[in-house]
Amino acid sequence: MGSRFDGQTVVVTGAASGIGAVIARHFADAGANLVVSDIEEGRLGAVADEIAASGARRPVVKAGDLSREDVAGSVIKSAVDNFGALDILVNNAGGGIIKPFLDHTPDTLRTTIDRNLWTALWCTWHAVKVMKARGYGRIVNIGADSVRNGLWDHAAYNAAKGGVHAMATGLAREFARDGITVNVVAPCIVETPQVKQITLKAPKALQRFVDVVPMGRPAEMDEVASMVCYLASKEASFVTGQVISVNGGSTML
């Protein structure tokens, strides 16, 4: 167990599966006081159990729909109630409904924005108040490299993730003198269990999303989590308002 985040309180959203579960594990292994949140209560509890079984402190579990303002507020409050402060917020909750724009329904369009943008916006709105009062905070959003390269079938998703990217730049400027940094980690396709499953069933289904990656493979979840941890650390004190791609070179600069 490391000590990089010893004594620091971290909220990770969307922690019940995929990249969020791995990010939570990285923070737990590095000594953080952790609050994990997700709409999937059962799976979220299982992630907390796994973390505890590995020898780290069991995270506080707060399940709910984070696209609701009251739920997001209660998650941030639980960090303060349990640990006395909030140092780091990782807005990871999200996920794409990836399809051609005209195949979307009003429901899938609304869900795309709810999942990816409202979750991040409400959590951030509540977190910044707490961070500003203390003069310290790190906010890391999971965005998407598809915002930069306009990947096929990603228009609706990019509308949501583009909002997440844009929110970070505005906040970074607004709170730059309050000790708060706000950044985005933008992955290309990531080899999550879900992506692995799709690839097993239909080996060619996601190939065009891999073909745009010069390194010729999806990102690993640990590669995304490592960048999140760097931006969330005290070392990243002069990095704010940035979108950092973890993408094997699929966009450059």
Ligand X SMILES: NC(=O)c1ccc[n+]([C@@H]2O[C@H](COP(=O)([O-])OP(=O)(O)OC[C@H]3O[C@@H](n4cnc5c(N)ncnc54)[C@H](O)[C@@H]3O)[C@@H](O)[C@H]2O)c1
Binding mask 26-45 for ligand X (x = CB under 6 A): ------------xxx-----
Q: Shortest Cβ distance from residue 206 to ligand X (Å)?
A: 9
Name which of 247, 253, 232 is nearest 34 in CA terms.
Answer: 232
Using CB under 6 A, which of the segments 2-10, 121-129, 169-177, 192-200 binds ligand X? 192-200
Please tell me whether residue 66 binds ligand X under the rule CB under 6 A. Answer: yes
Please tell me whether residue 19 binds ligand X under the rule CB under 6 A. Answer: yes
Let me know if 134 is exposed, middle or buried by CB neighbors in 10 A (0-12, 13-18, 19+).
Answer: middle
- Residue ranges of alpha helices (H) inside 153-192 are 155-174
Amino acid, single-letter form, for residue 119: T
Read off the tokens for 86: 């909030």
d(CA 8, CA 129): 17
State whether the Cα torsion 63-64-65-67 is positive or negative: negative
Q: Shortest Cβ distance from residue 14 to ligand X (Å)?
A: 3
Please tell me whether residue 62 binds ligand X under the rule CB under 6 A. Answer: no
Pairing of strands 137-142, 88-91: parallel
Binding mask 101-120 for ligand X (x = CB under 6 A): -------------xxx--x-
Q: Shortest Cβ distance from residue 195 to ligand X (Å)?
A: 6
> Nearer to ligand X by C-beta: 40 or 50?
40
Please tell me the count of residues contacting ligand X according to CB under 6 A: 29
State whether the Cα torsion 46-27-17-106 is positive or negative: positive
Cβ atoms of 183 and 202 within 8 Å: the answer is no
| Contacts of residue 110, Cβ cutoff 8 Å, sequence gap at least 6 | none
Please tell me whether residue 183 binds ligand X under the rule CB under 6 A. Answer: no
- Whether residue 136 lies in the annotated active site: no
Rule CB under 6 A: choose which of 9, 20, 28, 246 binds ligand X. Answer: 20
> Nearer to ligand X by C-beta: 10 or 39?
39
Q: Residue 214 belongs to what H/E stretch?
A: none
> Interface residues for ligand X in 211-240 (CB under 6 A)?
none
CA 234 to mean position of chain CA atoms: 18
Q: Shortest Cβ distance from residue 55 to ligand X (Å)?
A: 24
> Nearer to ligand X by C-beta: 38 or 223?
38
Please tell me whether residue 65 binds ligand X under the rule CB under 6 A. Answer: yes
Read off the tokens for 31: 């000594």
Q: Which 3 state secondary structure label does DSSP give 155?
A: helix
Binding mask 129-148 for ligand X (x = CB under 6 A): -------------x-x----
Provide the binding-site residues for ligand X, judged by CB under 6 A: 14, 16-20, 38-40, 65-67, 92-96, 114-116, 119, 142, 144, 187, 189-190, 192, 194-195
Q: Which positions are annotated as active-site residues?
A: 157
